[in-house]
Amino acid sequence: SSSSGGSSSSSSSSNTFLLHFDAVTAGKVVAPLRCGAVVVATGMTLRTAANDDDLAAVGGYSDNVHSCSNAPVALQHYENKRVLVLGLGNSAFEWAQHVQQVAASVHVLGRARGGLRQAYATHYVGDLRAINNNLLDTFFLKSLDTLDIGFELRSDLVNFTKHSGGGISLNLIGGALHGSSNYREPFDYVISCLGWRFDRDSLGFDDDIKPKFSDSTRKFAELNAAYRSTNVPSLFFAGVLAHQRDARRSAGGFIHGYRYTARALFRILLLRRSRSSSGDDSGGSDIVWYGGEKRIALPSGDGDDVAVPGATPPVVDVDYNHQQRAATVATSILQRIQTSSGLYQMFGELSDVMMFKDGGSASYYFEEVPLNYVGTLVSRMEKRLDGKNVHIFRLQLDYGHGGHDGYADNNQVVFYPGKAQACQFLHPIIEYFFNNEKKSEYHMLEDFITKWDVNELHFEPLRMFIQRSLRGDYRDQDTMLAEHVANVTRAGGGGTHWYYGALPKRS
pLDDT digits (tens, 9 = 90+) for 338-376: 999 999 999 999 999 999 998 888 899 999 999 999 999
Residue 143's contacts (CB-CB under 8 Å, 6 or more residues apart) are none
Mean pLDDT of the chain: 84
pLDDT tens track for 272-284? 887 544 444 344 4
- More confident site: 357 or 260: 260
Q: Provide the pLDDT confidence category of residue 78 given band limits of 50, 70 and 90.
A: very high
Q: How far apart are CA 132 and CA 498, in angstroms?
A: 42
Nearest to 434 by CA among 379, 468, 393: 393
Distance separating the N- and C-terminal Cα atoms of the chain: 80
Average pLDDT for 282-308 = 68
Q: How far apart are CA 107 and CA 143, in angstroms?
A: 11
Average pLDDT for 446-475 = 95
pLDDT at 234: 92
Question: Over 90: is that where the pLDDT of 465 sits?
Answer: yes
Question: Over 70: is that where the pLDDT of 423 sits?
Answer: yes
Cβ–Cβ < 8 Å for 106, 85: yes
The fraction of the chain above a pLDDT of 70, given in percent, is: 83
CA atoms within 13 A on the CB side of 418: 15
70-82: burial string, b at 16+ Cβ within 10 Å, e else: ebeeeeebbeebb
18-55: burial string, b at 16+ Cβ within 10 Å, e else: ebbbbeeeeeeeeeeeeeeebbbeeebeebbbbbbebb
CA angle (467 as vertex; 372, 412 as ends), nearest 5? 65
Question: Over 80: is that where the pLDDT of 486 sits?
Answer: yes
Q: Provide the pLDDT confidence category of residue 49 given band limits of 50, 70 and 90.
A: confident
Listed range (213-217, 243-247, 493-497) with the worst mean pLDDT: 493-497
Nearest to 201 by CA among 215, 221, 216: 221
The fraction of the chain above a pLDDT of 90, given in percent, is: 53
Amino acid found at 482: A
Cβ–Cβ < 8 Å for 460, 420: no
Question: Over 50: is that where the pLDDT of 252 sits?
Answer: yes
Average pLDDT for 234-240 = 96
Average pLDDT for 279-295 = 66
pLDDT at 283: 41
Cβ–Cβ < 8 Å for 245, 348: no
pTM of the model: 0.86
Asked if the bond preceding 313 is cis, omega within 30° of 0, the reply is yes
* DSSP bridge partners of 79: none
Q: How far apart are CA 65 and CA 96, in angstroms?
A: 15
Q: How far apart are CA 305 and CA 475, in angstroms?
A: 27
Type and span of the H or E element at 196 = strand 196-197
Question: Over 70: is that where the pLDDT of 304 sits?
Answer: no
SS3 of the chain: helix, strand, coil, percent, to 5? 30, 25, 45
